[in-house]
Amino acid sequence: MYFFFHSKPAEFKGVAVINYHRIAHLKCDPWDIGVEPANFASQLAVFAKYNVVSLHDLKLAFDKKIKLKPNTLALTFDDAYQDNFNLAAPMLQKAKLPATFFCTNVTGQKKEFWWDVLTRIIFETPVLPHELCLHIPQPYTWYIKPNSNHPDALSLQDFFYQLYNVIIKYYHEKERLLDDLRTWSGNDSTDESNLTMSTTQLKQICSDELFTVGIHTVSHPYLPYLTYEQQLHEFQQNSHFIREVTGVQPCSVAYPHGGYNQETLKAVEKMKLDMGFTTQHEALAGKVNKWEVPRINAWNCNGVAFEQKLNELLSR
């Protein structure tokens, strides 16, 4: 944990930030980030039993200007997928629930995120070759079940996670690596359901008093692999993009892939941001630093199961 003189921890009990990514039926979901629309609707009905607040109210709690009562929730969405605009936002509006959408500069580019491309190549290609060798710059070789009898052959799931971690590490090479994987697999398909909001839609989201937009960096890198200057640039340029599109200055940041380090927190302090959000799957309990706020990844389940899981975490 990293604490700075200017960021004193606040005390919390029975408070949680719920984090969503996709409101969609996903063909394959290795990270469990998709919530089916029917389940999302059921979960929104459950939120009527809780005190759902905006991130502005959460910020006031960190500043000790208000005290949040137990069973208080805040809602966030990462990556600004198109389904957030088409499905989540109208349902939130109907339920009168505030939420914050964290977006990257990919928003409006009609371009899929690299992990969605990787997921489709690995899990949706009918028959993958039994071996893969990539040069980045040293050679990496994998053997893939069930077509390989090599003693080190990996299941598709393990193969996917290892590739994912390699691309994160060599992020500046990701486009070339994806092209190599398309050629290797013979799968160069696309899926428009994975696209982000348009800039017009992002502006429309921000025009609703229920919603705010936050920083999620320019390109969604794993921040600990970047220098302080590179991280600060990612925050500043994403902040500038959001302000240019929406006319509103973003006040909070969600760390891509949940990764951050001391340099990240220095950059956030330099930006004078209100809060920083992690992907640590827990409620706010005890002393919490405003730039290391945990978030509970939303479960893809109906409201009854959701309420039970949520209450278990809130009671810890």
Q: Mind listing the pLDDT tens digit for each residue in 183-193?
A: 999 999 999 99
pLDDT reading at 3 higher than 50 = no
* Coil vs helix vs strand at 79: coil
Q: What is the pTM of this model?
A: 0.95
Give the chain's domains with CATH numbers: 10-110+194-314 (3.20.20.370), 114-185 (no CATH)
pLDDT reading at 94 higher than 50 = yes
- For 101-117, what is the mean pLDDT? 97
Q: How confident is the model at residue 8 (pLDDT cuts 50, 70, 90)?
A: confident
- For 75-92, what is the mean pLDDT? 98
Tell me which amino acid residue 79 is. D
DSSP string, 112-131: --HHHHHHHHHHHSSS--SE
pLDDT reading at 91 higher than 70 = yes
* pLDDT, tens digit, 9 for 90 and up, residues 252-300: 999 999 999 999 999 999 999 999 999 999 999 999 999 999 999 999 9
Q: How confident is the model at residue 137 (pLDDT cuts 50, 70, 90)?
A: confident
How distant, in Å, are the alpha carbons of 31, 79, 239, 243, 298 from that of 85?
Answer: 21, 11, 20, 19, 18
- For 20-48, what is the mean pLDDT? 97
Residue 6 is predicted with a pLDDT of 54
Q: How confident is the model at residue 1 (pLDDT cuts 50, 70, 90)?
A: very low
